[in-house]
Structure 1
Amino acid sequence: MALRASWRGFLKVAEVTCPVALHAAVSTSERIALHSLNRETGHRLRRRYVDGSTGDPVPAEEQVKGYEIAQDEFVMLEPEEVAAAVPDADKTLSVQSFIACDSVDNVYFDRPYYLTPGDRHAEDAFGLIREAMRGQGVAALARTVLFRRVRTLLIRPHDAGLIATTLNFDYEVRSAADAFSDVPDMRIKGEMLDLAKHIITSKRGKFDPSEFDDRYEAALAELVKAKIEGRPIETKRAARSANVVNLLDALRESAGVKRAKPASKPRGKAPAAKTKTAARGRPKAKATPRRKAG
């Protein structure tokens, strides 16, 4: 079944324009939805906005947006004022430039969309743009008003279509230098590094999203099913991980390398006193007489 388009407009590259449609590539509609209920009656709860000072309910027509300029002091923004501040949406996804596909740090990636031809008449122009980008190994940076905000999108060839990923603004991305400022700059070498590389090599694989299940969602589904069927609910506890005392030993164990046993000490001669005592306690063997030949 074809996905429903969440946005329709035009993709423009220089003077080449074709109708396109955006389809959300990620959806949370299949997740289990939980509602807030009244424990006593079992009825669903509804939210109501109340005045923070008086506690009186405020009807929708009396609710406005506001920006806090000081504690409990706000600038009110009327709906028509907010609407007037939003840039005009001309429904044009205008390509600003072409860049290398891997030149954007993943931390700027926001939300992916499938970009498809808007109608059958756009297929030729769409295919031309896609194949030209694929042949040059480039991605496109484009801008448009998307859901009332000016957004920058990274567009890349993907199978028979294009992937358009909205990008976070620079002011939204927190500094990596601040996050890693307390991480020491260590140089690891020798056996520890060799063992770590061996472990990585032995565990190389390919990304298969079907192999990664949503354990929380599965556990929640089982809980709901058990409640409906009246079955007892089993409480599962996460296994506690053992404390790793020695990093090198942990690496050796992970790599399947047996730890060398310490060399045993050579046995020394028993003390002379003990030998004499043992000799005194033993009866002496009698000598067997030899028969004379003849």
Structure 2
Amino acid sequence: MWRGAISFGLVTIGVRLYTATEEHDVAFHQVHREDGGRIKYKRVCSVCGEEVAYQDIAKGRELEDGRMVILDKEDFEHLPVKTDHAIEVMEFVAAEDVDPIFFQKSYYLEPDKSAVRPYVLLRTVLENEERLALVKITIRQRETLAILRAREDILVLHTMMWPDEIRKPDFGFLDEDVEVRQQELKMAGSLVESMAGDFEPDQYTDDYTVALEKMVEAKAEGAELPEVEEEAEEGDVIDLMTALERSVEAAKKGRSSSGSTKKSSSSGTKKTASKSTTRKTPAKKSSKTA
């Protein structure tokens, strides 16, 4: 758990940081196929060949000339980071100005008991002004950019990559002069319109993980595994326009058979310029994991 304070202007808000997400991947161990024994690894020095205890392991940076620079905990304490317990607001930016490619991890912020009022103030002004707070934060001795935003009744912090950590795309097709025909654009627009809807993440499920867990349970019980259905092979090779036309037809049939209606594209979020500052304070979390 991380604890510190948000500071913007002369306002300081004491907060605690909690991870906002968790992955549900099925974890596997490396084992010996013959008897199921776990595979273990030893930390062996490449110079002397001896096994090294964890407390004797340091961090090293190899230079271009081959020299190894060894850094200890005391060395990192001399780095020019302001503090490990501050979230410094540098400026407030429009949401559309921030490319999602910069985002890394997400965290919930819980205010200290004495900081609830300024916390709600910051959350509400971010909502009303439709702005994000661009901040700097140091987590585990690493300084990073981050974004603070209001989500429902909580402030959420998203750590970000530095600009020089974003790779520049370098693909051959970018140098080609590719022309898209007007009728293809029109048909693609029809396909987008026929598949348009609101983002409701609860309606989607991780089918692969569910199937994987069922397979593990079946093997544990000695049951037979279900047969894998082979995908039907495509018949004739079809051109782009034909593929678009068939896709629009399939999308329309799918919508009508499921009884769902196309949602208007005008049902997106609307600006609420006069939200009350007396909204409820953040609800309790069900779990706290740093």
Give yes or no for TM over 0.5.
Answer: yes
Give the structure 2 partner of residue 184 of structure 1.
176
The counterpart of 1:196, out of the listed 188, 191, 194, is 188
- In structure 1, C-alpha distance between the alignment counterparts of 2:97 and 2:167, rounded to whole Å: 19
Unaligned runs of 5+ residues in structure 1 are: 1-5, 258-294
Normalised to the residue count of structure 2, the TM-score between the two structures is 0.76
Question: Counterpart amino acid of 2:19?
Answer: A
1:5-16 aligned within 5 A: 6-16=1-11
Answer yes or no: is the 8 Å Cα contact 1:24–1:112 preserved in 2: yes
Answer yes or no: is the 8 Å Cα contact 1:199–1:255 preserved in 2: yes
Answer yes or no: is the 8 Å Cα contact 1:89–1:148 preserved in 2: no
Give the structure 1 partner of residue 86 of structure 2.
92
Give the structure 1 partner of residue 276 of structure 2.
none
Q: In structure 2, do the counterparts of structure 1 residues 27 and 56 end up closer, same or farther at CA, with 3 Å as the change threshold?
A: same
The counterpart of 1:35, out of the listed 26, 29, 53, is 29
Give the structure 2 partner of residue 74 of structure 1.
68
Q: In structure 2, do the counterparts of structure 1 residues 87 and 106 end up closer, same or farther at CA, with 3 Å as the change threshold?
A: same
- In structure 2, C-alpha distance between the alignment counterparts of 1:106 and 1:158, rounded to whole Å: 16
Q: In structure 2, do the counterparts of structure 1 residues 231 and 183 end up closer, same or farther at CA, with 3 Å as the change threshold?
A: farther
CA RMSD of aligned residues (A): 2.5
- In structure 2, C-alpha distance between the alignment counterparts of 1:13 and 1:148, rounded to whole Å: 22
- In structure 2, C-alpha distance between the alignment counterparts of 1:93 and 1:102, rounded to whole Å: 22
Question: Counterpart amino acid of 1:58?
Answer: V
User: Is 1:101 matched with 2:95?
Assistant: yes
Alpha-carbon distance, 1:144 to partner: 2.1
Q: How many residues align?
A: 249
Which consecutive segments of 4 or more residues in structure 1 shift more than 4 A? Answer: 70-73
SS state of the match for residue 182, structure 1? helix
Q: In structure 2, do the counterparts of structure 1 residues 59 and 125 end up closer, same or farther at CA, with 3 Å as the change threshold?
A: same
Give the structure 2 partner of residue 280 of structure 1.
none
Answer yes or no: is the 8 Å Cα contact 1:109–1:168 preserved in 2: yes
User: Is 1:239 matched with 2:234?
Assistant: no
Answer yes or no: is the 8 Å Cα contact 2:103–2:159 preserved in 1: yes
Give the structure 2 partner of residue 288 of structure 1.
none
Q: In structure 2, do the counterparts of structure 1 residues 179 and 52 end up closer, same or farther at CA, with 3 Å as the change threshold?
A: same
For residues 2-57 of structure 1, what are the alpha-carbon distances to aligned partners after superposition, in whole Å with 9 as ceiling and x for unaligned? xxxx31111111111121122211112x4322112233332322221113366542
User: Is 1:124 matched with 2:117?
Assistant: yes
Give the structure 1 partner of residue 254 of structure 2.
none
1:128-167 aligned within 5 A: 128-167=121-160
- In structure 2, C-alpha distance between the alignment counterparts of 1:56 and 1:235, rounded to whole Å: 50
Answer yes or no: is the 8 Å Cα contact 1:8–1:118 preserved in 2: no
- In structure 2, C-alpha distance between the alignment counterparts of 1:17 and 1:136, rounded to whole Å: 20
Question: Counterpart amino acid of 2:201?
Answer: P
User: Is 1:205 matched with 2:200?
Assistant: no
Normalised to the residue count of structure 1, the TM-score between the two structures is 0.75
For residues 235-288 of structure 1, what are the alpha-carbon distances to aligned partners after superposition, in whole Å with 9 as ceiling and x for unaligned? 52652652743222222222339xxxxxxxxxxxxxxxxxxxxxxxxxxxxxxx
Question: Counterpart amino acid of 1:22?
Answer: L
- In structure 1, C-alpha distance between the alignment counterparts of 2:34 and 2:137, rounded to whole Å: 50
SS state of the match for residue 156, structure 1? strand
Give the structure 2 partner of residue 268 of structure 1.
none
User: Is 1:65 matched with 2:64?
Assistant: no
- In structure 1, C-alpha distance between the alignment counterparts of 2:110 and 2:190, rounded to whole Å: 44
Range that drifts further, 42-51 or 10-19: 42-51
- In structure 2, C-alpha distance between the alignment counterparts of 1:238 and 1:173, rounded to whole Å: 39
User: Is 1:253 matched with 2:246?
Assistant: yes
Give the structure 2 partner of residue 278 of structure 1.
none
- In structure 2, C-alpha distance between the alignment counterparts of 1:86 and 1:237, rounded to whole Å: 58
The counterpart of 2:13, out of the listed 15, 18, 23, is 18
Larger radius of gyration: 1
Answer yes or no: is the 8 Å Cα contact 1:86–1:148 preserved in 2: no
SS state of the match for residue 102, structure 1? helix
Give the structure 2 partner of residue 170 of structure 1.
163
SS state of the match for residue 89, structure 1? coil
SS state of the match for residue 256, structure 1? helix
For residues 198-236 of structure 1, what are the alpha-carbon distances to aligned partners after superposition, in whole Å with 9 as ceiling and x for unaligned? 111111112222232223311220111111111012352
Give the structure 2 partner of residue 227 of structure 1.
219
